[in-house]
Amino acid sequence: MRCKFFFQSVLPSRRLKKKKRDNMPSVNFSPIHVCLTPIMNTSTLLTEIVYRTSRSGGAGGQNVNKVETKVEVRLDVNASAALSDEEKALILEKLANKISAEGFLSVTNQTERSQLANKGKAEKKLVALMKKAITLPKKRKRTRVPAAVNARRIEGKKRRSEVKEGRRKLL
């Protein structure tokens, strides 16, 4: 992955007492490590694609029986020069069910009546699928539960307890 070092200004902590905060410098610079999401070279990728056509099913009259409009787009992931090693590893891991035993990632399209339109859609579909596979999700930031939410939950429990207590038999 491509990683860079940036410098982030770090303000003094709010937890410090007023006296200690006054003695500290107002802005402190510390290096932080930021990993950028990998970006593949789509123009090179489109030159590496292998196309296969076949007759499409569905509606279309005589056109269906005569013209090969269904397009299958195939890409050899391991031999691709457009992808870095990290990107290849991510694609092989996340798209394992769409990759054949020979290592070809395959996508088909047959929605349109023309081969050219299906070819364009299949290319876009393949690129979008690969971009989604190599994009790393953001890490979730843990947040505290607001005090009002806790109070509302406890109040609801008290009300429920009172209702159940009211159902008891008196001695």
Domains of the chain by residue range:
1-36, 42-134
What is the pLDDT confidence band of residue 1, given thresholds at 50, 70 and 90? Answer: very low
For the chain, the three-class secondary structure string (H helix, E strand, C coil) is CCEEEEEEEECCCCCCCHHHHHHCCCCEEEEEEEECCCCCCHHHHHHHCEEEEECCCCCCCHHHHHCCCEEEEEEECCCCCCCCHHHHHHHHHHCHHHECCCCEEEEEECCCCCHHHHHHHHHHHHHHHHHHHHCCCCCCCCCCCCHHHHHHHHHHHHHHHHHHHHCCCCC
What is the pLDDT confidence band of residue 42, given thresholds at 50, 70 and 90? Answer: confident
The pTM of this model reads: 0.60
pLDDT digits (tens, 9 = 90+) for 155-171: 999 999 999 999 998 77
Which pLDDT score, from 0 to 100, does residue 63 have? Answer: 73
Q: Which fold has domain 42-134?
A: Double Stranded RNA Binding Domain (3.30.160)
